[in-house]
Structure 1
Amino acid sequence: MTMEVNNNIVKGVREIKSRPKTPFQWLNRGTLYAIPVLLAAICYYNSLNGEFVHDDIFAIKKNPDVNGKAPASGFWWNDFWGKRIHLNNSHKSYRPLTTLSFRINYELSGGRAYWFHVVNVILHCITTGLFTYLLHDVFNISTTACFFTSLLFAVHPIHTEAVSGIVGRADILAAIFVLVSLILYMRVTETDDDYADDDCDFPVTKQPLYLAGSIMSAVVAMLCKEHGIMVLVIMAAVDCLVICRKGVNRIISSPRSFKQAGQLASRILIISFSFLTLIYLRFMINGGLPKFIEQDNPASFSSSLLTRILTYNYLLAFNSWLLLAPIKLCYDWQIGSIPLVESVDDIRNISTITFYVFLVFILVKCYFTFRSQKSVQNIPLIAALLIILPFIPASNAFIRVGFVVAERILYIPSLGFCLLVGHGLSCVIKKFPGKKSVFVSMCVAYAIVLSLRTVHRNQVWLSRQSLFISGVVTLPHNAKVHYNYGNYLKDIGNISEAIYHYQESVRLYPPQPSVHNNLGTILTNQSWATYHFREALRYNPQHKGALVNLGNIYLQRKDRAAAERLVKQALRIDPDYLEGLLSLSKIMMELKRNEEAKFYIEKAVKAHPNSADVHNFNGAYLHYKGRYEESVSSFQRAYALDSRTPLYLIKAVSGLQILGEVNEAETQLNRALNKKPSVEVMDQLGLLYYKTQRLPESLTIYRNILKQAPNSTEAATHYARILYSENETDEAESISLNVLNHDPNNLPCLQLMVAISASKKQLNKAIEYSHLALDLADGNEMLMLEMNFQLGNIYREVNDLKNSLKCFEKCIKINSNYVMGYLHAGGIHHLQKNFSKAKENYNKALKIDPNNEMAKENLAKLKRQELKANNASRKT
């Protein structure tokens, strides 16, 4: 059985009345559905090889509710990003059914992005098919309007964010259940009774199960995405303005007729109760409204009522233009993309006025059609309801939203837009039948342009790099896109470019605490880093990342009290903040407050059991305490959680070597190499072979590394060090110079060049390399001590006693208990005949180490020389 709108009452009929002739008589029922669905699949085929990008990373890859690192039922209590929904810092985006779909997808695909994209495209095709069914079989619109409406919806580029961006699945799922809800609701008054009263002004609820089903579908739509709840409002509006049009018109003309509207009133009452109950339950689950900051939605924070009104209304026009002409699209329309409309003389107000002229025209048309005595389909009214009502939650009309413009939000409203365009084409062809080929050609051309734009736009969503570059190119004045691109560049190690884009973001919009914080983390100049962390805290005193990062700088400066105060402040904001717990445990270790360090590490392990960083840090702590077996277990757990980080395995292998389990260490390294070849793991195996005196195997591995990865500076440095220790000095020097050519600031390689140059008696070169290495080692006391001592001896060899003495005195300054520093400083004073200073240094060495034979011998020599000098003086 199918349905039609006749006298604006949806009735069950056994046969659909003959449709008006159209230019698409060749379309049968199958092709009418198949062509739009097929085109939807074709247009999005090139999106299938896309990666997880942007929000996908946090909502899917790093979301424990999706990746299986949290209990299966966790998504019922958490927001879309895996955070407890009741927490103050939660985004309050409660979409459990979308999260469930991600989890199932993750389990079945092993977390491969390809299958997430496949599901998104299939869901978009399903939406297209359901929409076609709603138009053709429920609203019984003309084949022309139905075909072009479905076609435009299938290929419209405004949908790329929802389809190609995986997290956009929330909007697609919500759209599917919105359509299902409408289809079911339109059958509520349908009957199989041939003697049904077709002329009833207020059709009776003859299928209550469909009413229940439509409301349940609305609940599902809301649990997929928040604005899905608006289908209840659409259902009520459709009932009043379409199904019961005749009766409502009679009430308007004669209010006494309201007594006959009992069936309509009961349905509206049920819908209203459902709507209010869901709003209440949603508010209770959320524990309040989400908290956004000014950069998310600047207009909503404006103190000027005029600015808010003008900007909000301009954004309506702007979104409408995106639907009509999606020329400029961007994944993020925040900071600086759309400046506030602050005065009535802003030229953009013309767009707003134009928008309202068209809106009023459409609404007036809808009104006269509604009030008409003729039995006509009010398709513009249905289109207007589908455009306007789903968009209300995003309009800032009732609550503040966390965005300026979001293309994915237009997925459901685009149903109405496409219907309006398709209906418009049908009307124009009907009015000008002689020009139908012209109008059809224009619409086909429009659809082709939209299709090509969609295919091109899909390529932007294939990777983080392409997406973020497109944002910078499309909206170079948008501070947020520079920030996102800076984050990407930081992640891939392109620090200089990352700094540029962070600085550009700050220039465009200074009050961005996260940008200042991230910029501070990659600046080598500690003073500038400190400045940016303080700027982050100036704009947001509760920025826990900036608090911890500033605390870490104080820790480097040995101001442990200030470091402890800042990190504890971050933990008061978020007691389970991972970086804060790890930083505080490090501070406690430096303060020798080991029990407190243990407490914070154990708390981090308990709060973040699936964090590789936590187990890595726990392993380091256990290693420091000499608990090597437990340390190895922690490092192995870290590697199991994140096998992309070979450092965890390397640390575990180091612990195994300390325990004497060399064979097990070798086995684990070979197992890791068989699973996933890695230069870092090969390097560690080469070192292991060398330490176990298997030199040929070690050298073979390093030669293979240099063939596979000639720019692997760390492995090349280790290879050069092994060659140097085997007296292959020339080859070691050649490899080291090649490393420094690629990486002039490679500290281990500079240290090796000091040793090589000294062994070849190229002492001036050794001194030069020493100074370069010392500049890089600034802040590392152990290295500074070692290199100053080495440099002091080289200066002594070239008879530069003044600089030699400075080096040994620096060693003493770094470590006041460094015996060798006092002995060598004393030796220099001794050579300079400064016997009192020499004696002072030797005595300090003896005070630290009373059994030091060298100090005793030097003091004895000094005594003899003093005696000899005194005797010579007397004779004179």
Structure 2
Amino acid sequence: MSERSATHRQHWLRGPAAGAIASAVVALVLFGPSFTFDFVYDDHGVVKTDERLSEPSFGFELWVAQWWVEGAAEPVSRPLTTFTFWTQVQLHGRQPAVYHLVNAVLWALLSAMVALLAGRWTERWWSVWVVGLLFAAHPIHVEVAANVVGRAEILAALFSVIALRLWLSWRERLTWRRVAALGVLILAAGLSKEHGYLTAALLAAMELGLRVRHGESMRGRTWVRYWPVGLAIVVVAMLAVGQRIALYQNVETGKTAEIDNPLHWSPTSERVVTPLKIIGKAAQLLAAPVVQSPDYSPRILMPTHRFDDPLVLAGLAVVGGWIVGVVYAWRRRSPALGPLLCLVVVWFVPSNTLALIGTIFGERLLTMTSMMAPLALVALAPERIGRHPFVLGAGMVCVALLLGFVAFVWITWEPMMILDGAEENVGYKVLAGWDWRQILLGLVCVAGCGLWLAIQRGGAAAVLLGLAVFSAGWATNFYSLVWRHGDALMVYTVTTHPEGGRFMGFQSMQLARMAMYKSEIADDPELQTTYMDLAEQHALVALEQWPRQDRPYAALGMVAEHRGDYEAAREYYRLSGRGQRKWSAGDYGLARLGELDELETLKARAEALSAELDERPEDHAARRQLAQVYLQLREFEEAAIEYKRVVDAGVVDARLLNLYAEALMENGQFSEAMEVYLLWLKLEPNNWVPLTDASFIAIGMMAHLEKVEGWLRRAMAISPGSAEPWVALGQLYRLNDRPDDAMLAYREALRRSDPSEPKYRHYRLELEELIRRGK
């Protein structure tokens, strides 16, 4: 090859397009095979079972509709992402393969744009390869790229990155068309996912970094020239607020579940320290993504107030390193200042860390962070790294190697899920059909990569890049296989994260259902008993980790029903049904035991009573029956309406008020429920039940707290042997940050409970959780 052609080849590979294309190819190689995956995890509620997506008219309604009808308690709207799902449902139905392919293509496009942004920002040709390839192949992105609902993060990040890249080219010569384009990109990012609106803050952080880097003036007058951009941001903000107002008018807010938001009821000390723990966990996942999980919220990142927690210390180190990095970059006018400032925006605000209002942490939250962090590190790296011959084909070699091993792995991988007996709490293991051929393939690929780079005299930087991308891609490919279907995901999580609690609860429910309904298991008494024992073990472990779950109680109800202990089964089923807004496994269990009619029978009775009331609207007895049927159907809003009509007609008694208050509570109308309980207290001032229930509501609402302890003391005096007032008192003390008094109250509740009753176990779990937090 002539010297001229070699120079031409080298020049082409040093260009940004080569690194961007390589990053896109790596992304497609790793996540393209996800077209064989099923819907898993949140995909079911957002895509598979959302009937709204089948309605042609929903294409207009989705812009002010909730993202997930039965998902988040607070209204969440991601209309642009929902629009893509609606479009696909209209075009080809709900075939998961096409959804996954769209995600893979979008991920490839995002990886290419990240590479281009890195090259333009740092003005170092090799940063295109380093940032782009590592972003495309990093294992923490499996949850985004291989999970259909991760499209919200992909789209938000894509529009943000495009806006940032365009700003670098347009900031010196802004036109109204360019300003409008930036505004549209910010709006599109926000409509894809809420934190996309922070693109405006990212632009400001980037501009500040550019001014420091180039020694430009910081005076206020020099910022005035960007007033059209500010105007565009104001317009976007007005549109966003209007869309949010319309959303709140169309949906009802609910109560945030503690399992989803563990800081929701935490004291100030935990709200300050826990974010540091989350930062430490995020840093660990970015630097060494081992033993990943689709859910970190329940126990893995339990709120803490202890500064000696290893993850808290890691978080402190990260914060300290960030401060040092910002000071260094500012003084040296380093290009790293912009990404470091952007890190504050992309991490603290989306994760709720800055607001300290609680968090539900997941790897999807790290999408933008995993882009800005390596960008900052590359910008901080010495300039001389790029002076060595970088081999320029390192990325292409990585692509070829990844193609080879991915194809081989996808052909030979045969995961199996087998029952492992009852000697372990987990009870399941994930086994892979690996043999010497796979191991040999990996060694040959790594050795070949290093040898080729050494021959080309690429230096240590090229070798490290090749091995880093190869290793990341290898790990990504293996972890992505876990997301193929729900069973694989559940078994993996239960096996690797038994301390999580939530998936252990899912698995306990599945085991119990298999034992009860799967013929090959149900017809074998010995095997059925084994499955039920495993279900019980899973359920107990899940409840020990996180007591406020419904599925483990339903599983324990099935186990008790299998063993013939029907009284315990009824109690477990009732515990399982608390807070459910539709028929749950607990309700079906109660129906099997004769406590409730079958679902279809209840629906038919509701229709008959409604027709009867159309003819005789003054029949209050029939209206009470209809309200009770609605209550059993868990149609709480309709039940509350019917009970209100009866009460407004002057028909009032203790049982009616009790059921009316229950319907209001389940429907989230806590203030109205409190009024009903106060009315009940006027009727029966010496009844401990309304005193206790009113106290529970007041504690939940954080209202009338000055009266609650008096109500509970009266309830204890009226019914000294009842445990419930002591439980409410424990919750009151916990809310008032008096953990020692709360523990004493729970111990008194345990003294007044029968150890054989399911609620005794529930109270004990609450006490153990308090003790763990105290430690």
TM-score using structure 1 length: 0.54
Alignment of 1:284-323 (within 5 A): 285-286=247-248, 291-303=255-267, 305-323=268-286
Consecutive unaligned residues in structure 2, runs of 5 or more: 1-6, 391-456, 519-530, 615-621, 636-775
What do residues 394-445 of structure 1 show as CA deviations (whole Å, max 9, x unaligned)? 3324557775321111112211123234445564625999997123212221
Number of the residue aligned with 2:134: 152
Kindly report which structure 2 residues correspond to 1:132-281, keeping only aligned pairs within 5 A, or say none. 132-136=115-119, 138-139=120-121, 141-191=123-173, 206-242=174-210, 250-251=217-218, 257-264=219-226, 267-268=229-230, 270-271=232-233, 274-275=236-237, 278-279=240-241, 281=243
Sort the Cα spacing of 1:367 and 1:280 in 2 relative to 1 into closer, same or farther, 3 A.
farther
Q: Residue type of the partner of 1:469? A: V
Structure 2 CA distance for partners of 1:599 and 1:309, relative to 1, 3 Å: closer
Aligned partner of residue 396 in structure 1, secondary structure: coil
**Residue 156 of structure 1, CA deviation:** 0.9
Describe the SS at the equivalent of 2:75.
Answer: coil
Aligned residue for 1:361, secondary structure, equals helix
Pair 1:394 & 2:358 matched? no
Q: Deviations over 1:107-129 (max 9, x none)?
A: 33332111111111000011112
- 1:125 alignment partner, one of 86, 93, 108: 108
In 2: Cα distance, 1:490 partner to 1:400 partner: 39
Please state how far the C-alpha of 1:359 moved relative to its aligned partner. 1.1
- The answer on whether the counterparts of 2:298 and 2:502 sit within 8 Å (CA) in structure 1 is yes
Kindly state the Cα deviation for residue 338 of structure 1 after the two structures are TM-superposed.
2.1
| Greater relative CO, 1 or 2 (CA 8 Å, sep 6+) | 2
Q: Equivalent residue for 1:483?
A: 505
Cα deviation for residue 503 of structure 1 reads 3.2
Does 1:344 pair with 2:331?
no
CA–CA separation in structure 2 for the residues paired with 1:309 and 1:64:
41
SS at 2:352's partner residue? coil
Quick check: 1:414 aligned with 2:370? Answer: yes
Per-residue deviation, 1:523:
5.2
Of 81, 91, 101 in structure 2, the residue corresponding to residue 98 of structure 1 is: 81
8 A Cα contact 1:184 1:213, kept in partner:
no
- Which residue is equivalent to 1:509? 546
Structure 1 residues without counterparts, runs of 5 or longer: 1-19, 192-205, 252-256, 371-377, 565-578, 609-876
Deviation at 1:451, TM superposition (A): 0.5
- The residue number in structure 2 matching 1:804 is none
Counterparts of 1:498 and 1:67, CA distance in 2:
37
How big is the shift at 1:72?
3.8
* Conserved? CA contact 1:386–1:415, under 8 Å: no
- Report if aligned partners of 1:65, 1:82 keep a CA contact under 8 Å in 2: no
**C-alpha separation between the residues in 2 aligned to 1:432 and 1:39?**
24
* Superposed CA offset, 1:749-781 (max 9, x none): xxxxxxxxxxxxxxxxxxxxxxxxxxxxxxxxx
Paired residue total = 534
Distance 1:382 1:119 in 2: 31
Aligned ranges 1:569-584 → 2 under 5 Å = 583=602
Partner residue of 2:331?
368
Q: How does 1:515-664 map to 2 (within 5 A)?
A: 515-517=552-554, 519-520=556-557, 524=561, 525-536=565-576, 540=578, 542-545=579-582, 549=586, 553=590, 557=594, 583=602, 585-586=604-605
Letter of the 2:478 counterpart: H
- In the alignment, is residue 61 of structure 1 matched against residue 87 of structure 2? no
Quote the offset at 1:147 in angstroms.
1.2
Question: Are the equivalent residues in 1 in contact too, given 2:336–2:377 (CA < 8 A)?
Answer: no
Are 1:330 and 2:293 counterparts?
Answer: yes
Match of 1:356 in 2: 319
Counterpart residue type for residue 503 of structure 1: L
Change (3 A) 1:491 1:110: farther
Q: Which amino acid aligns with 1:511?
A: R
Using the TM superposition, give the Cα deviation of residue 177 of structure 1 relative to its aligned residue in structure 2, in angstroms.
Answer: 1.0
Q: Is the 8 A contact 1:482 1:502 kept in 2?
A: yes
Contact 1:91/1:291 (CA < 8 Å) preserved in 2?
A: yes
Letter in 2 for 1:384: L
SS of aligned partner of 1:139: helix
Task: Return the alpha-carbon distance in structure 2 between the equivalents of residues 589 and 290 of structure 1.
Answer: 31
Contact 2:23–2:111 (8 Å) recurs in 1: yes
In 1, distance between residues paired with 2:289 and 2:58? 42
Q: Could you say if the C-alpha distance between residues 280 and 298 of structure 1 is closer, same or farther in structure 2, counting changes exceeding 3 Å?
A: same
Indicate if the aligned counterparts of 1:295 and 1:335 stay in contact, CA closer than 8 A. Answer: yes
Q: Distance in 1 between matches of 2:254 and 2:190?
A: 17
- How many Å apart are 1:583 and its aligned residue? 3.1
Q: For residue 263 of structure 2, give the secondary structure of its aligned residue in structure 1.
A: helix
Q: Contact 2:179 / 2:232 at 8 angstroms: preserved in 1?
A: no
CA distance in 1, matches of 2:465, 2:257: 42
Q: 2:361 aligns with which of 381, 405, 419?
A: 405
8 Å contact from structure 1 (residues 37, 126) kept in 2: yes
In 2 relative to 1, CA 530–35 (structure 1 residues): closer, same or farther, beyond 3 Å? same
Contact 2:261 2:297 in 1 (8 A): yes
Distance in structure 1 (CA, Å) of the matches to 2:585 and 2:128: 58
Letter in 1 for 2:570: T
Deviations 1:793-839 (A, max 9, x none): xxxxxxxxxxxxxxxxxxxxxxxxxxxxxxxxxxxxxxxxxxxxxxx
Shifted more, 467-476 versus 415-424: the winner is 415-424
- 2:466 — aligned with what? 444
Partners of 1:458 and 1:100 lie apart in 2 by 26
Of the three residues 35, 40, 43, the one matched with 2:22 is 35
Residue type of the partner of 1:405?
A: F
Specify the alignment match of 1:79 in structure 2.
Answer: 66
One-letter identity of the residue aligned with 1:45 = G
Q: Is the 8 A contact 1:519 1:529 kept in 2?
A: yes
Q: TM-score, normalised on structure 2?
A: 0.61
Contact 1:181/1:218, CA 8 A, preserved across alignment: yes
Offset at 1:464? 0.7
Hey, what's the Cα distance between the residues in 1 that align with 2:128 and 2:282?
24
Alpha-carbon distance change, 360 to 431 in structure 1, aligned in 2, over 3 angstroms? farther
Residues 394 and 401 of structure 1 are in contact (CA less than 8 Å); yes or no, is this contact kept in structure 2?
A: no
* Cα separation, 2, equivalents of 1:325 and 1:27: 29
- Over the aligned positions, Cα root-mean-square deviation in angstroms equals 4.1
Superposed counterparts of 1:420-439, under 5 Å: 420-424=376-380, 427=383, 429=385, 437-439=459-461
2 CA distance for matches of 1:51 and 1:401? 34
Give per-residue Cα distances to partners, 1:118-168, cap 9 Å, x unaligned. Answer: 1110000111122223333x4362111111111111111111001101110
Is the CA contact (8 Å cut-off) linking 1:429 and 1:436 kept in structure 2?
no
Higher mean displacement: 232-241 or 427-436: 427-436
> Taking structure 1 as reference, are residues 131 and 314 closer, same or farther at Cα in structure 2, changes over 3 Å only?
same
| 1:550-598, Cα deviation, whole Å (9 max, x unpaired) | 598389557xxxx69xxxxxxxxxxxxxx97863545898999899799
Q: Percent identity?
A: 19
User: How far is the alpha carbon of 1:511 from its aligned partner?
Assistant: 2.3
Tell me, in whole angstroms, the C-alpha distance in 2 between the residues paired with 1:602 and 1:546: 13
User: In 1, Cα distance between the equivalents of 2:357 and 2:151?
Assistant: 19
Q: Compute the displacement of 1:227 (Å).
A: 0.8
Q: Deviations over 1:328-386 (max 9, x none)?
A: 2111112211233322333443212321232122111222134xxxxxxx431232244
> What is the deviation of 1:187?
4.0
Answer yes or no: is the 8 Å Cα contact 1:170–1:224 preserved in 2.
Answer: yes
Partner of 1:454: 476
For residue 384 of structure 1, what is the aligned residue in structure 2?
Answer: 340
